[in-house]
Each structure stands twice: as C-alpha cells, then as structure tokens.
Amino acid sequence: MPDILEVENLQVRLFDRTGPVLAVRGVSLSVGRGEVVALVGESGCGKSVTALSLLRLLPRDAEVSGSIRVDGHNVLDLSPAQIRTIRGGDVAMVFQEPMTSLNPAFSVGNQIAEVLRLHQGLRGAEASARALELMRMVGIGDAEKRLRSFPHELSGGMRQRVMIAMALAGEPKLLILDEPTTALDVTTQAQILDIVRDLRARTGMAILLITHDLGVVADIADRVVVMYAGAKVEEADVYDLFQAPRHPYSAGLLGALPGSALAQEQAGRPRLAEIPGMVPMLRAPLDSCAFAARCQSATDECRAQAPLLEQVGPGAGHAVACFHPEPATTVSV
Amino acid sequence: MTVYVVRRLGVSVFTLVVASMLVFLGVRAVPGNPAIALTGNADLSPGAIAAIERQYGLNEPLPVQYIDWLRQIVTGHLGSSPVTGLSITSELAGAFPITLELTILAMLIGIVLGVPAGIIAAVRRGKAADYAGSAVALFGLSIPSFWFGILLILIFAVKLHVLPASSYVSFLTSPASNLSHMIMPAFVLGTGVAAVLMRQMRSAMLEALRADYVRTARAKGLPELRVVLKHALRNSLVTVATVIGLQIGVLLSGVAVTEDVFGLSGVGNLTINAVFQRDYPTIQAVALITAAAVIVINFAMDFLYAYLSPRVRVEGDAQ
Amino acid sequence: MSLTIAPDPAAMLEVAARSDRHWWRRLLRRPPAVIGLVGVAVVAIAAIFAPLLSPYSPVAVDPAHFLAPVFSPGHLLGTDELGRDVLSRLIYGAQPTLEVGVVATGLALVVGVPFGLVSGYYRGAADMIAMRITDVVLAFPYFLLAVGFAAIFGPSLPNVVVALGIASLPGFVRIARAEAMALREQDYVQAAIVTGVRDRVILFRHLLPNMIGPVLVQATLTIPGAILGAALLSFLGLGERPPTASWGTMLADAQQHLFDDPWLAIMPGLAIFLTTLCFNLLGDGLRDLFDPAMS
C-alpha cells in the first residue's frame, strides 16, 4: 500500500502584483499511514502554500508542477469532480484563522452537517446526531446548544474545535493542520493539541502539521521537515532533529526555543532571532544557498552554488541541504 | 433580532416624524400668505383670506396646525385640490396603482437581470463574461432613463409598431394589454436597477469569494456552484441589502420621469402637474406619502439585513 | 519565538509615497479610464470655449430653417422647431451640465465629508445625529426635493443644484464615516490620541488627508449621477427656463417632433449619455487604483 501522501519535486509559482514568486522550490515529502509529520519554517517559507497545493486550493493562476499523490492518485491529474471527493473526504484541512474560516452566515451544525451529507451520505436527524458526536469528540461542551450557534458566538478555541470536528466529519485518512494554534492563546493551544493527539490515537489517521512553532512539534510529531525559502533544508526523525539538528537554520530555530537544552548550550552564540533579515521572497531561481545571508557559517561556496539534500547521520532518514552542517554531537538533555 | 428590529422601527418612526415636519413647513415656506399658497388663488379678498385662515386653522400656533394636519392625514383626509377641486385621496387612489405596478415590475426586472449578472461577473472575473457584463452595466448606469424610453418608443412604437407608445390599461381590465403598455417603461427602469445591482453584487461577491470561509467550503469538497451560491452569495446579499437603501431615491425619481415619457398618469405625473399648477396641498400629500414609502422600504431592507446576518439576528448588534 | 522582523515603517511609507506619486501614470495605463478622461476633457472644453466653438448663438433663430434635417447646409446637425442651430445648442448645453454636476457634487462633498469625519471619529452622540440626518435626507428622492423647491421658489437651475447636492450628501457622509472609523483604529492615530494631540489636528492632519482617495472616487462617481439627475429635472421643466440651452430641455422640446425629426431627440440624449459614461469610466478607473481588489 502506498503512503497516504507522497509529494515529489513540488514547484509552485504564484503571481502577485509585481510578478512571479517562487513559493515552493522542489519539495519532496511523504506521510505514511498513521504517521504525524511536521512541516516547519518561518512565515513566508512556503509551508502553507505547500499545504494548499496538496488539495489544489491555491489561486487559479498559480503554477504547480511535480507530483502529489494522495493514496496513490496524482492530485494534479484529477478532474474537478475527483478532487472534490478527496477534499474533505480522504484529506481534510484545518486552517490557521478560526475567526474567519467559518462562514458567519450559517450555524456550526449546518457547516458540519454539510460535510456529512457530502461525504458520508447522512441526512437530517442522522447527520445532526453524528455532528453532535463529532462536537463531543473535540471537547465541545453543551454540544446540543452549540450545534445551533453561529461562529460569532464562539471563542477562537471553540471555533477551531468546530473546524476540527468539520474535518473529522469526512473520516479522513490524512488531516492537514495549517498553523492550527497560531491564532490562539497559550492555554487554548495546549487544549487543541491535546485533542489532536487524542484523535490521532483514536482514529489512527495520518497528520501533516504545519507550524512555525517547534515547541508544538516535539510533543506530537514522528518526523520533521524543515523548510526555508520554499525549499526543504532538513528532514529527520523528531528525536534526531531535536538531539542533533544539522542545518544551521534548524539549529537556530531550536536555539530560539526558550528553555531548550540547545538554547542553554548556545548561550554564547547569537540567537537566530537576532540575525537581521527575513525569509527572502524569491522571484528568480537561486544559484546560492538561500540561507547564506543569515548564516554564521556561510562561506564563498555557499554564496556560489546551492547545496543539495544529502543523507547524513546519526539517525536513519536524516537529510540536510548544507555545505557546512552542524556537528553531529549529541546534546546532553 | 427583536432588539435590532425594534430599534430600527424607532429610527424609522423618528425619521417619518421629522420628514412630515419638513413637508408641513415646506408649504409654510412659500413666500406670501399661506392662505394664498393653499388655495392657489392670488386674488382673494381679505374676507375670503380670513375665511380660509379659519378653515385651515392658520391663526393657530404652528405646532397646533401641524398636529391638526397630521391628524387629518392619518385619518385619510388629504383634502381637495384647490386647482381641480377633486379629492386628493381619490386622485392618489387612481394614480398609485400605476406607479406601484411600474416600480414592482422594474424591481423584478432589475433583480432578475442584475443579481445573476453580478454573480457571474465575479465568478468569471477578468474573463469575457465579466468584461461584457461590466460594460453593459456601465452603459445601463450612464444612460438617461427618459432618453432610453424615447429611443424605445422610436423603435418599437414609431418604426416597428409592435408596442403602444403611451397610455395605461388596468391589469384588471386586460392583463395582456396592461403588460404590453407597461413592458417598455418597466424595462427602461429595470435596466437602471439591474445596472446598479450588478455592480454592487459583483463587488460584494468578489469580496466574499476571497474570504477564508470560501476556502474552507472548497476544502470540504463542495461543488463550486454550491460554494458560490451558498457560502459566498449569502454573505454578499448582506452587503447588497445595506446599500440598496441609498438607491431607492434614484429609482423613484426615475419612476416619475418614466411616467412622463410614457404618458402614464401615475403619482409622478400627478406631482409634476401639481407643481406647474401651484397645487400645494397635492404636492404636500405626495411628498409625505413618498417619504413614508421610502422609509418603509428602508425599514424592510433593515429587516432583510437582520434576517440575513446572524450577528444582527442573534445579538441585535448592528455595527 | 519571533523570527519575523517587523517591516521598517519608514520604508513602507516611502513605498506608499512612491506609488502615490505615480498614480497618474498608473491611471493612464488603463484604456477605459483614458477614454473617460478624454471625454470629460472634451465636454469641459466645449463648456469653457462654447462661444468660440459654436457656429451660431444658441438662441439665434434662423427663420429660413425650421426643423432643418441633419447635414443641412449651414447647420451641420440641423435646427430645432424655432430654427435654432442644434450643434450650437449642444455645445452650449455642456455648460449647465458640467456646472450642475460639479457644483452639486462639490456641495455634497464640502458638507458631507466633515459630517462623516466627525461622526466616524467621535461616534456616540455625534454619530447618532449624523445618521439620523442622513436617514431624513434619504427619505426624500431628489425628484421630490426639486419638486418642493420648484413649488416654493419657482423652477430654476440653482434649485436643481441644491436638490441634487442634498440628495448626494448621504454617499459622502457614509464614505467619510467609514474611513474615519477605520483610520481611527490605525496605530499612528491611536498613538496621536494617547499622546494628547488635539482632536482638530488629528481630524484635519491625520484623518482627512488619508481619505482623499475614497472621497475622490465617490466624487467622480457622484458627478455622473448628478448630471443624469439634472438632465432629468430639466427634461421635466423643473430646471433652467427657456430659451437657455440644456440637453435636458432640448430633449423635452424634441419630444413634440419624435415622428417627423427623431434626430432632435437622439442627439441631446446621446450627449448626456456619453458625458455620464465618460465620468463613470474615469471614476471606475480611479476606484480600481485605490482598491485594486475590485477591478
């Protein structure tokens, strides 16, 4: 059986008012059945664009190439009708902004039942009963009353629970969570993550978690993919990445994590947050390492050609795109 | 919703009261003796003026006169026209159905043409259908209704002889004849309404189609038609309902001139004749009724807005 | 973990200023807007230089030619039932047309924008009062206002201007109010409020200059409405009195001759239509510049 999600050499070109933007540059990644993969990077690194392209939700003028296989079917080749059976069915998605992602004009029960009618063929009372069940699953108290509530009557955390219930309604094999906790306060973030962890244990569905917050990743993911400026710079088992990040960018991300062992270890070094600059927006292909401008260990080589992704140790399946990877020493925890 | 509707009702009543005061004071603002203004007769003897002043209570303080006037109107006594001597109530009763039919037909044509055109243009943004629809709407917005009416008369009545140029036949007398008389004026007005609705609908839909909840609806796997007609349209209608109120005055002004062009003896024509005959009581009655009609329509729009927008429906929060 | 570095506000302002300086050039890259601009310029030139451009006086009667057809010798667009040259009357007709459109709109702008500004900035009681006033204004269609003024003061062009100015008020109040409400929440305005900058300075130095774009768009789209309204009222005889040439009155006179000389009705209507169309094209172009999402 193929992996639930196999992405190969994904390239996405978007167009803004001033011209094309290379949002995703040759990203490959896979999510096994029941696996939790985290896609990590700063805002603007292309991780959300990657997520949207998986369900062909990008603007009409976006140019997407490469291959995206969901359960073996190439998403880019499917007819509109076929892609609709995958959207909300095999693959469900939860977005970053719970305040605006629900339709203000319809009750939450209506919006959940819509998925049940579409993908489960449930009608009327059956659909309501199942919607109630789903709302209870995601920890919404007083679900009978909430079923008739409108989005504006709910808190951000409650709305995100509704979004998750809506995603679960299609009984997906893969759940894509695009920054599900970014817009929420810390306590609510923890609750939402607990729900996700619990659901994963109960349903065995695979999860692709998109986040800029490595703190979230450590708790929940099996494997981590780090993106920078539209490209994958490192991929590793979550344990390996936290123990020994090989890309300076990943190391910087971890170093910026307050209270982490690495942060203490690196106390003498400048944290990434203090390195001036932002993720560059690329309008043309790059013939250097995209991170070179912000990198402490960058050399002329880094500025002359782009590093390719290569397998490195210590763990299996650990790959990094860097000419001068960080040493593989294990940090004592 | 109740809170909101009651509040809007209060506002509407307040507006109506202020509007009626303005209408009342308007006639008092006519230069010269109000008795002359009210009768339209400049050659009255002092005795006759005194008699009229007594009849209309013109020697009473203004607030008392206003209350008396209001009481008469509320009880349906609009008085008689000093020019024609006819009862204003019965004149209006004859003219009102024509204007009402014209307005309703125009609204229907406007909605049927304008709303779908706006939706299609927004969905097909930047494509041929959008450009064509937007261009037609721009023409519809720019064309003077009375000239458009004259052009239609020239083509269909003068050249082709397929439709009557003017006059009115009651729908009850002959539905077919009524509609053949009303189709041109209603179309003239309806295209104007359609142009406005199309543009409003298009921009509201463009905004809705960009919203996060539309992306959510697509991510659910809903067919595009349902994404557009359920998720985006519902929210666009809220926006459109709020701007319609601003357009009613323009529509009713258009109704008046269209009646003139097509020789329909509706309220608009009645008013124009009254102006040139200095028939102040009739003008006063028409002004008050028109203002009341606009206020009622605006209240209905508020109601629709409240119904379409759950935030207002549930919490009574208008802002 | 805050990795994103906040964009430099000075740099952003510079970008905004630079794009502002080029808005003319961006407007000129849009063919419909250019057509509109040219059309408006043509009408303006006709209005200003009417005495130089028109072959005859607009009120001169040529007793030898009543209802001369189009392309008659000496009368390119023919004459009307009194033997007046149609081309000359069309050229002179641009004067009241532009005058009413611009003055009525200017009136509504000058009164409506401060109203909306104050109501959106202070909200509360000021907002309540402004909204109730616009409710009352909205209750009277411009036709009714013009009828009222004509009944009280007799038909005249100033009546038409005032009626249309009043009827156009709510649009400007709405725009200025919405902009003031939005701008009030901006950080720089909030900062000004917190640091005790006087209200007058905030209103006129910070809010007003920042709503020029939307107000300008509203004005450009109000002018054609006012032109149509003025033509309608003149057509009904509520505006300028004969023998003054205006497109509305020309059309009204032409109605008598629909059967024998339809061109008499077609030409002034076409003039009104093209003028409003050009203003609308220009207004749409400006709106798209300030709000590109709607184009």
Q: What percent of chain A has pLDDT over 70?
A: 90
A107 touches chain B (CB under 8 A): yes
Query: Of C292, C178, C187, C275, nearest to C231 (Cα)?
Result: C275
- Give yes or no for a contact between A123 and A206, defined as CB atoms under 8 angstroms apart: no
Closest by Cβ to B158, choosing from C132, C259, C276: C259
Residue of B16, B146, B188, B262 for testing the chain C interface, max C β-carbons within 10 Å: B146
Q: Which residues does chain C have within 8 Å of residue A43's beta carbon, measured at their own beta carbons?
A: 4
- Rounded Cα distance between C247 and C264, Å, is 11
Window from A249-253, B117-121, C63-67 with minimum mean pLDDT: C63-67
Summarize pLDDT for A109-132 with one digit per residue, the tens.
999 999 999 999 988 889 999 999
pLDDT computed for residue C7 by the predictor: 40
Q: What are phi and psi of A176, to 5 degrees?
A: -100, 120
pLDDT for residue B68: 85
- Rounded to whole angstroms, the Cα distance separating C122 from C130 reads 11
Q: Nearest residue of A to residue B310 by CA position? A: A105
pLDDT band at B40 (very low <50, low <70, confident <90, very high): low
pLDDT of residue C79: 74
Q: How sure is the predictor about A332, in pLDDT bands with cuts at 50, 70 and 90?
A: very low
- pLDDT(B163) > 70: yes
> Using CA atoms, how far apart are residues B13 and B19, in angstroms rounded to an integer?
10
First to last CA, chain C: 39
pLDDT tops 50 at residue C13 = no
* DSSP secondary structure code for residue C76 in this structure: T
Residues A290-318 have a mean pLDDT of 80
Write out the two tokens for B226: 């349902």
Amino acid at A37: V
A89 interaction partners in chain B (CB closer than 8 Å): 221
Sign of CA dihedral C112, C116, C122, C128: positive
If contacts are CB pairs under 8 Å, which of residues 170-189 in chain A contact chain B?
170
Q: Is the pLDDT of residue B284 over 60?
A: yes
The partner residue sitting opposite C151, judged by closest CB among B154, B203, B275, is B275
Q: Does A166 touch chain B (CB under 8 A)?
A: yes
Q: How far apart are CA B92 and CA C173, in angstroms?
A: 34
Cβ-contact C284, C270 below 8 angstroms: no
What's the pLDDT band for A208 if we cut at 50, 70, 90? very high
Q: CB-based contacts of C263: which residues, under 8 Å, 6+ apart?
A: C69, C70, C77, C78
Q: Is the peptide bond before A245 cis (omega within 30 degrees of 0)?
A: no
Kindly give the pairing relationship between strand A19-31 and strand A5-16: antiparallel
Q: Nearest CA of chain C to the CA of A218: how many Å?
A: 15
| pLDDT for B131 | 93
Q: In the sheet where A223-228 sits, what is the strand order?
A: A91-94, A174-178, A206-211, A36-40, A223-228, A231-237, A318-320, A310-312
Each residue's pLDDT tens digit, A65-88:
999 999 989 999 999 999 999 999
Confidence (pLDDT) at A184 = 83
Pairing of strands A310-312, A318-320: antiparallel
> Can you name the residues that pair with B223 across neighbouring β-strands?
none
Which of A42, A45, A47, A181 is most worth mutating to test chain C (most C CB atoms within 10 A of its CB)?
A42
Q: Please name the residues in contact with B9: beta carbons below 8 A apart, sequence gap of 6 or more.
A: B299
d(CA B230, CA B121): 17
* Low-confidence winner among A11-20, C68-77, C231-240 (lowest mean pLDDT): C68-77
**Which pLDDT value is given to residue A301?**
84
DSSP label at residue A152: G
- Position A265 scores a pLDDT of 55
To the nearest whole angstrom, how far is the Cα of A279 from the nearest Cα of chain C? 8
Tokens of residue B235, six digits: 């929210």
CB distance C240 to C246 below 8 Å: yes
Give the gap in angstroms from C-alpha B100 to the nearest C-alpha of chain C: 16
Give the single-character DSSP code of C69. Answer: P
Cβ B215–A97 below 8 Å, yes or no?
no
- Interface size B-C, in CB pairs within 8 Å, comes to 161
> What amino acid is encoded at B98 in this protein?
I
Q: What is the pLDDT of residues C84-128, one digit of tens each?
A: 888 888 898 888 889 999 999 999 999 999 999 999 888 888 888
Q: What is the pTM of this model?
A: 0.85
CB spacing of B287 vs C144 below 8 angstroms: yes
Query: Taking the CB of residue A222, how many other CB atoms lie within 10 A of it?
Result: 16
d(CA C76, CA C278): 24
Rounded CA-CA distance C17/B181 in Å is 57
Facing residue for B147 by CB, picked from C251, C277, C281: C251
| Distance of alpha carbon B256 from alpha carbon C238, whole angstroms | 12
Interface test with chain C among A211, A217, A260, A278, by most C beta carbons within 10 Å: A278
| A314 compared with C238, residue with greater pLDDT | C238
| CA-closest candidate to residue C208, choices C113, C289, C288 | C113
Average pLDDT, chain C: 83
Burial of C29 (0-12, 13-18, 19+ CB in 10 A): exposed
Q: What residues of chain C lie within 8 A of the CB of B271, using their CB? A: 143-144, 147
A95 touches chain B (CB under 8 A): yes
Q: What DSSP state is assigned to residue A50? A: H
Q: DSSP for chain B?
A: -HHHHHHHHHHHHHHHHHHHHHHHHHHHTSSS-HHHHHHT-S---HHHHHHHHHHHTTTS-HHHHHHHHHHHHHTT---B-TTT--BHHHHHHHHHHHHHHHHHHHHHHHHHHHHHHHHHHHHTTTSHHHHHHHHHHHHHHHS-HHHHHHHHIIIIIIIS--S--S----TTT-HHHHHHHHHHHHHHHHHHHHHHHHHHHHHHHHHHHTSHHHHHHHHTT--HHHIIIIIIHHHHHHHHHHHHGGGHHHHHHHHHHHHHHTT--SHHHHHHHHHHTT-HHHHHHHHHHHHHHHHHHHHHHHHHHHHH-HHHHHH----
User: Which chain B residue has the Cα nearest residue A95?
Assistant: B216
Flag whether pLDDT at A10 surpasses 90: yes
Nearest to A87 among B219, B309, B315 (CB): B219
C179 has a pLDDT exceeding 80? yes
More confident residue, A214 or C170: C170
Of the listed ranges A130-139, A244-253, C126-135, C279-288, the one predicted with least confidence: A244-253
Calculate mean pLDDT across residues A4-20: 88
Task: List all residues 6 or more positions away from C22 whose beta carbon is below 8 Å from its beta carbon.
Answer: none
Per-residue pLDDT tens digits for A235-283: 988 888 888 888 888 888 887 666 555 555 555 554 444 445 566 777 7
Pairing of strands A19-31, A174-178: unpaired
pLDDT band at A314 (very low <50, low <70, confident <90, very high): low
Instruction: Give the relative orientation of helices B280-308 and C124-138 as an angle to the nearest 10 degrees.
Output: 120
Collapsing DSSP to helix, strand or coil, C71 comes out as: coil
Between chains, do C232 and B257 touch, taking CB under 8 Å as contact? yes
Q: What three-state secondary structure class fits A326?
A: coil
**Is the pLDDT at B116 greater than 90, yes or no?**
yes
From A182-186, A192-196, B308-312, the region with the lowest mean pLDDT: B308-312
pLDDT band, very low/low/confident/very high, at C2 (cuts 50, 70, 90):
very low
The residue written with tokens 């200023």 in the block is C17
